[in-house]
Structure 1
Amino acid sequence: MSVRKREWTTPKGVAKSAWVVDYNDTAGKRRLKTFGKKKDADAFAATAFVEVREGVHVADSASITVAEAGKLWIATGESEGLEQSTIDQRKRHVKYHIVPFIGGTLLSKLSVPAIRAFQDQLRETPYPGDFPKVSMRGKPRTAKMIGIVTTSLGAILSDAQERGLATRNPVAEMTRKRNGKTRRRESRHKVKLVVGTDIPTPAEINAFVKALSGNWRPVLLTVVFSGLRSSELRGLRWQDVDFVRGEINVRQRVDQFRKAGPPKSEAGARTIPVPPHVINSLKELKLKQGKGIEFVFANPDGQTRSHSNVVLKGLQPAMIKAGVTVATDKKDKKGNAVMAAKYTGLHALRHFYASWLINRTDDGGLGFSAKMVQERLGHSSIVMTMDVYGHLFPRSDDGTELARAANILLA
């Protein structure tokens, strides 16, 4: 490997010079790379020397674009049998968030500053006019969305590295460069779930349950007292309900394309005890359905209900009927604000279930340990449980506990 200065004169008589790195790549092929400054040529030569020695070097002429790497990443997911919803998400990220900005950039040209510039572009550019979700068109991308897209870009680069098409993963480098202070600062700014804002209060759930009726009652009652994910709810079969023991066995899930598969993780396969009124409600539903129906919460055709069907026709109308609402900007004919459901997604009921497991028995909860909460929710690790719900656990040094300890100490 050598670094030499090249000098020449243009047809117009202008003297020019450049620094050329002359080297052989990992396959033994001769490569030439030109720089305007010697320090840049020396820096490249030093890096390339190590990469060639380790067998990971990829020359610019052998590199592929981000768009091409994105296609390979999607193909990898398809070959691994990922759910269709996950594949579709990958395609959206590549098509609407990545390719329009850096699709033509060679992987070998990506760096940490380039990734930061890409994030700035995402922040400054609204969702395109042809974005699938109409309500998002023209709106700015949130910080959370930018983070998700950056993670996808990192996964694309990681896949390219495994294929020998990329030397570096600047997204991973960015993550490693964050020091402990930065991570602690991010942790302090992490928004915690708030009871009454993100999590329904016991009074709101009381009103909500009383407002449930018809075929929606067993569906939503089950979510409130089992915390099932939407996909688990859709995948629940009658063979998974133990009427004698009063338990629901989570053994499969059904995605938005009505494709059945195993639970989200090994921990997702679990048994959940439920109160008698849930079991009684399910018994009534089974009698109404008759024989030959596999899924507990089937639609009139015997197929699994869609997520939007449960939310828009079941959850939200029940919230409004129960008076668990918030005012919107819309006005009715009398000039009064139109009310909408305060909690618009099934995950709010899952959050309530978690809080019910955590709350003290004196407060109407079950007082479970963090480990038991993790098992009931089907989280793959207790870290996830504590990250989301850790702040809800009662402290052992407040209220009566603190007074009792002080009295014993000072007796």
Structure 2
Amino acid sequence: MRVRVERGIYGRATKDGATRYEVAYLDTAGRQRWRTVAKLHEARKLRADLVSKVGRGEVIPSTTATFAELAEEWYAAKAARVRARTADYYRQALDHVLLPRFGRLRIAAIDADAVSRLTRDLEREGLHAIDPERPVRPLGCSSVVNYLKPLQGVCALAVRRRLIPASPFSVLTDDDRPMRAEREKPHEWSEDDVEALLAASSRLAGQRESKYDYTPLLRLVATLGLRKGEALGLRWEDFDREAGVLHVRRQWGPQGVYGPTKTEAGVRRIALPAGLRDDLIALRLSSDFSLDEHPLFVSSIRCSCRFRGRRSGIATCRGVALSLPVIWRGCRRR
């Protein structure tokens, strides 16, 4: 039981008969906080120091707020403002990495060294560093960065609430940050490369075991430079036959549902070359799914062609037409 000793200072008897002194003060956010010391003179000195700091507007870190508490608040606010897929990534980063590592720690205890150690652990061992039952599988730069994003967001929230004076990310050196691997120079596609790819796709489509002809899809992407999700999200209502125009209004996501384009600028109107316009007319006439609400590129299960992660169906043509890795973004004309 607390007993008031003097203004802002209270005493509490311990089990061994000693007295501990608790100092009450208001932080810079106006919340009441407590600090505990062993001696009365220490309590008086501490209270004077805290009151002085608050009067000068200095930030006094909370001694009780944990990462887990603040992380859930941050996620609840963030999930309402981002795409469902992005929110899922944040949730996985929290559940698989950040909460197991930092959940019980006070937010003020997470410093630049803690962030740097987590970065090195993920680079060296992957999720095995968090859960020993997982296999050792080092993570690349982009994966580590994605796992750190919620941590950076929670630290920014802590700074805004004046729970910490500064984010540990603000003092990280280049050596503390995830190591970036050198990117391979993207392949510059020539006209001959594109024609060889399309020819290989046509040959594969003619084989008995072939389930789909990717040639129209590849030709569209090679000509217009659409993103994979944008191409698979096209419906016949987006094709204006008379005007020779294609409207990009949505994308087909890996979850198998339509969604908005990656950015607002992704919604656009594209004038079609005459040859591509004729190809789309022929594709619609030959398709069993040609209603306005049907997708342009339909698989055997009557939905948009299967979304195959970073590498699409064009990977089927690897080694047939080209010895180079076939990557979707590489199909864009440069």
Candidates 169, 193, 196, aligned match of 1:204: 193
Alignment of 1:347 onto 2:329: yes
Candidates 261, 276, 279, aligned match of 2:277: 279
Candidates 172, 176, 194, aligned match of 2:185: 194
What does 1:110-189 correspond to in 2, within 5 Å? Answer: 110-128=110-128, 137-160=135-158, 164=161, 166-168=163-165, 170-174=167-171
Distance 2:32 2:310 in 1: 60
What does 1:265-304 correspond to in 2, within 5 Å? Answer: 265-290=263-288, 291-292=290-291, 293-304=293-304
Code of the aligned partner of 1:24: L
> Is the partner of 2:319 in helix, strand or coil?
helix
Code of the aligned partner of 2:76: A
| Conserved 8 A contact 2:244-2:274 | yes
Q: Structure 1 residues 130 and 112, CA, compared in 2 at 3 Å: closer, same or farther? A: closer
| Conserved 8 A contact 1:83-1:255 | no
Q: Structure 1 residues 24 and 127, CA, compared in 2 at 3 Å: closer, same or farther? A: closer
What does 1:32-111 correspond to in 2, within 5 Å? Answer: 32=35, 50=53, 54=57, 57=60, 59-61=62-64, 63-64=65-66, 66-80=67-81, 82-111=82-111
TM-score by length of 1: 0.59
Q: Which residue of 2 aligns with 1:388?
A: none
Q: How far 1:208 sits from its partner (Å)?
A: 0.7
Q: Gaps spanning 5+ residues in structure 1: where?
A: 3-10, 12-17, 36-41, 326-341, 356-411
Candidates 234, 241, 244, aligned match of 1:243: 241
TM-score by length of 2: 0.71
| Conserved 8 A contact 2:60-2:165 | no
| Conserved 8 A contact 1:129-1:137 | no
Of the structure 1 ranges 45-54 and 203-212, higher mean CA displacement relative to structure 2 is found in: 45-54
Distance 1:310 1:146 in 2: 18
Q: How far 1:202 sits from its partner (Å)?
A: 4.4
Code of the aligned partner of 1:157: C
| Conserved 8 A contact 1:85-1:256 | no
Distance 2:76 2:226 in 1: 31
Code of the aligned partner of 1:194: K
Q: Structure 1 residues 130 and 99, CA, compared in 2 at 3 Å: closer, same or farther? A: closer
Q: How far 1:247 sits from its partner (Å)?
A: 3.1
Distance 1:44 1:155 in 2: 32
Distance 1:245 1:106 in 2: 62
Q: How far 1:171 sits from its partner (Å)?
A: 4.1
Q: Gaps spanning 5+ residues in structure 2: where?
A: 1-6, 8-15, 39-44, 206-212
Q: Which residue of 2 aligns with 1:15?
A: none
Q: Which residue of 2 aligns with 1:391?
A: none
Cα RMSD over matched residues? 4.2
| Conserved 8 A contact 1:151-1:171 | no
| Conserved 8 A contact 2:295-2:304 | yes
Distance 2:47 2:96 in 1: 33
Q: Structure 1 residues 30 and 243, CA, compared in 2 at 3 Å: closer, same or farther? A: closer
Q: Structure 1 residues 91 and 19, CA, compared in 2 at 3 Å: closer, same or farther? A: same
Code of the aligned partner of 2:72: K
> Is the partner of 1:126 in helix, strand or coil?
helix
> Is the partner of 2:226 in helix, strand or coil?
coil
Q: Structure 1 residues 44 and 251, CA, compared in 2 at 3 Å: closer, same or farther? A: farther
Distance 1:51 1:120 in 2: 37
Distance 1:28 1:69 in 2: 16
Distance 1:255 1:59 in 2: 42
Distance 1:130 1:159 in 2: 24
Deviations along 1:223-250, whole A, 9 cap, x unmatched? 1111111221222121222334433221
Code of the aligned partner of 2:263: S
Q: Structure 1 residues 54 and 237, CA, compared in 2 at 3 Å: closer, same or farther? A: farther
Distance 2:77 2:159 in 1: 13
Distance 1:271 1:165 in 2: 47
Q: How far 1:253 sits from its partner (Å)?
A: 1.9
Deviations along 1:234-273, whole A, 9 cap, x unmatched? 2212122233443322122232223333322221122233
Q: Which residue of 2 aligns with 1:317?
A: 316
Distance 1:288 1:161 in 2: 60
Q: Structure 1 residues 242 and 208, CA, compared in 2 at 3 Å: closer, same or farther? A: same
Q: How far 1:220 sits from its partner (Å)?
A: 1.4
Considering fraction of residues, name the structure with more helix.
1
> Is the partner of 2:320 in helix, strand or coil?
helix
| Conserved 8 A contact 2:232-2:297 | yes
| Conserved 8 A contact 1:115-1:170 | no
